[in-house]
A and B are shown apart, each in its own frame.
Chain A
């Protein structure tokens, strides 16, 4: 059996449950299973749960429940964690992406850096499925599984002032999708027409922790067609439930 979780107080109204100290799928699955179970069973006083790579932050109302009581209840759920993990469903979300050109101005740099052709970089980036470990930063940024070593590339020396929403980038071994227009130093290899974040949605982030993301190479024409459909709210993202 693996070691039990660590329970740590955070300020005056939150509890951190830590499962190990590594970025690993098995650890992340436990975090997500616990998060789901807590949100479902809503122990008295629990207000909000934030799952990250290897820990779950649980906000509670100390007026309604004491720290020690909450720890006791969460430990009860932790007992059943293996079973909960095995019941978890996984979604695979297809993220259509146009690589290179104006959409991915750093694709040629990434190819040259690794003595690959642009087509090889596209193949390597799009043939892997990336697990979403967590959603965070600002505005629903997905923290994805790492890219293959063959295309891992350092950040720009000077970040761009404006990176368009939907840009797909690489920073060292990380890959990710800009959820909104912002400054940024990642090497941009492509762009998706999908909305990753929209504050008008009740659940404002397209991706959820635990999802798998598959980047599907598309053409510039397809990008524009999907983008128009997204703007008219007539496009449904391709999401496969396990």
Chain B
């Protein structure tokens, strides 16, 4: 497949990485899933430039980069509203955008959410490592040389099969709105029995604030202390993304997509898959509440979420 240079990084922004939908089947080798923190927005961005849903995009965190466009192409920006502009003119998010060689894409203030996704027609072309183009910064592999982007990096895209014919936009009612308060659904367990009834009650009824220790590995939360029966430790076992672990200080940590694959703190609950995408848009000082649902309810919601993804595809492509 031929490749084309699409962007030169003028300023990298706070933390801009290449991500796709992550690594599958490798957690048993100690390889985290990685991939987009907000998979929903990334899938949407890809759809809007007629990419397959798993093509690699830029994940842009809070302070966006400044990019010089090196060749005419089509892009789409979804997720957090970080005030994107092209040559100083504000850009509309959630739709196909044509950008021309020499143009400058930049970002301004954070209006809503935490992470924006920039898809480019054909998908970002970086080497596939362990089945994915996602950057795992702590492991120094994947994405662009295993690291966040720097000034002077040049980003290449694969040549898209069809030449820039997309002219798509997301129906208004499917665009998520990000607030500073989020309630996420969780399924209690697998180690809810390590906590007292009072501890579980505290967890499900309190409002927690996201601290500044919040990144792709996990979010430390602040709020009412969750009571353990005896000890917060368990025999180390697998940590799925979305697991809420509670160490000895009684304050929950939500494990995100770059979290270590195993660990020894009890997990009081696990966030459901659709809500994990929503959590990807949470930033320090936002608040999170946890709502307990049964595994059966969680399954129905997951199936519903998949239907929405399919519906989104149909509606976007039909215009």
Contact = CB atoms under 8 A, between A and B. Distances in A.
A221 B187 CA distance: 55
B30 A179 contact: yes
Interface in A187-206: 197, 199-200, 203-205
A80 to B, nearest CB: 21
B302 interface: yes
B314 interface: no
B96 interface: no
Interface in B255-291: 260-263, 270-273
Contacts of B28: 35, 48-51, 135, 209
A21 B187 contact: no
A8 interface: yes
Contacts of B243: 10-11
A14 interface: yes
A51 B139 CA distance: 21
A141 B263 CA distance: 12
Contacts of B10: none
A54 B262 CA distance: 12
Nearest to A143: B236
Nearest to A135: B30
B27 to A, nearest CB: 5
B236 A136 contact: yes
A16 B190 contact: yes
Interface stretch (B53-61, B81-89, B293-301): B293-301
B235 A9 contact: no
A180 B237 contact: no
A10 B140 contact: no
Given A12-B272, A12-B273, A48-B24, A203 B29 contact: yes
Contacts of A18: 190
A199 B138 CA distance: 13
Contacts of A50: 27-28, 238, 261-262
A10 B190 contact: yes
Interface residues of B, number: 44
A66 B130 contact: no
B306 interface: yes
Interface string A121-135: 000000000000011
Nearest to A197: B30
Interface string B174-193: 00000000000011011000
Nearest to B129: A199
B292 interface: no
What are the 9 closest A-B residue pairs judged by CB atoms, nearest first? A136-B262, A11-B270, A12-B298, A57-B238, A9-B295, A50-B238, A199-B141, A52-B237, A140-B30
30 contacts: A9-B187, A9-B295, A11-B270, A12-B272, A12-B299, A16-B238, A21-B235, A48-B28, A52-B236, A52-B262, A55-B238, A57-B240, A63-B303, A135-B28, A135-B29, A136-B236, A136-B262, A137-B260, A137-B263, A138-B30, A138-B136, A138-B139, A138-B261, A139-B30, A143-B236, A179-B30, A180-B139, A197-B30, A199-B31, A205-B29
Interface of A: 8-14, 16, 18, 21-23, 35, 47-55, 57, 59, 62-63, 66-67, 134-141, 143, 179-180, 197, 199-200, 203-205, 209
Given A11-B272, A48-B28, 9 more contacts: A9-B295, A12-B273, A50-B28, A52-B238, A67-B299, A134-B262, A138-B260, A199-B130, A199-B142
